[in-house]
Structure 1
């Protein structure tokens, strides 16, 4: 009888040890350092819907053939999921915000651009792809190739003005060949935790 009485105690003890282990493991995960900047003239409270931009082929990355569809899909899905958690609604027809995301890759100095970069336009590198939107006046703007390799960048663009209004990034977190989906999600969650600026309620 004593054995039967002690068994639930031992089982509970094992579950407690497992829980402590899991909590300890999560606490050992390295923190992801995310940073953001924004246009102080933008009215973020009016942004309620979004659509993710489709990149245009540019052929100006270090390796245009290295585009990873799986990584692209993981980033796209995670960005959309986090924005929905923020209270934003997907809208492909008339979104308030356009969303662009990129990973900084090493640039090949032997490559020569076939197009001329217009001043004030953001050319973002994602294995041979780019987006075009206005960055003039955005505080501390840098082109994607100016970030450390592996930096994940998320840009929010006002769909009406085509101007960049918010940018968040996590430096050196992404390896296109090896990055696990969990790390991608953690990186994106850390970046978008800073949106909207000042925690403006929706």
Structure 2
């Protein structure tokens, strides 16, 4: 009995883990690029063009920069005091897109819609089920001496509306993204 419960618990855990939204990571280095050839990094100034961007948005941008700096420092780089002193510049792009989840009505199980005198029609239509946000972070590493991009990566996932869960998702996503940079 105990063995059956243990197996059922593991199966349930695997199913829940498989159903959780995953972060999609894409990484594209320039030929012969390695992170070990650089010593200091700095962020390029982020311009905000979103009207709704307020203190919450700025807080998440700041947290994202902190997390990226922490991950890069763990890989052996140091943050430069200014962009002039850095041998690697970081350009961030952040997009949050609101999506609508819909389902199509079924002409077999959904009742027909009455249109007029003895005219019944079966039309399928889209019904809104829910709304969610998809967040995308793109990171471009630029060599300021050569003035060219040496690595680009993106992380995309469905993001939570809860601030504490969103911070956890940012931490995990940035860790996966920085792990994909060639040493």
* TM-score > 0.5, shorter chain as reference: yes
Question: CA, structure 1 residues 38+52, in 2 after alignment: closer, same or farther (shift >3 Å)?
Answer: same
Q: What is the deviation of 1:177?
A: 7.5
Q: Number of residue pairs matched?
A: 131
TM norm structure 1: 0.54
- In structure 2, runs of 5+ residues without a counterpart are 1-8, 98-132
C-alpha RMSD of the superposition: 3.1
Q: Which has the higher strand share?
A: 2
Question: CA, structure 1 residues 195+91, in 2 after alignment: closer, same or farther (shift >3 Å)?
Answer: same
Matched-pair contact (CA < 8 Å) for 1:173–1:187:
no
- In structure 1, runs of 5+ residues without a counterpart are 1-19, 107-147
TM norm structure 2: 0.59
Q: Which residue of 1 aligns with 2:46?
A: 55
Question: CA, structure 1 residues 36+176, in 2 after alignment: closer, same or farther (shift >3 Å)?
Answer: farther
Q: Which residue of 1 aligns with 2:53?
A: 66
Question: CA, structure 1 residues 173+101, in 2 after alignment: closer, same or farther (shift >3 Å)?
Answer: farther
Q: Which residue of 1 aligns with 2:171?
A: 185
* 1:33-182 correspondence runs (5 A): 33-42=24-33, 44-56=35-47, 59=49, 63-67=50-54, 68-93=57-82, 94-106=85-97, 149-174=134-159, 180-182=166-168
Matched-pair contact (CA < 8 Å) for 1:96–1:160:
yes
Structure number with greater Rg is 2
Matched-pair contact (CA < 8 Å) for 1:156–1:166:
yes
Question: CA, structure 1 residues 173+78, in 2 after alignment: closer, same or farther (shift >3 Å)?
Answer: farther
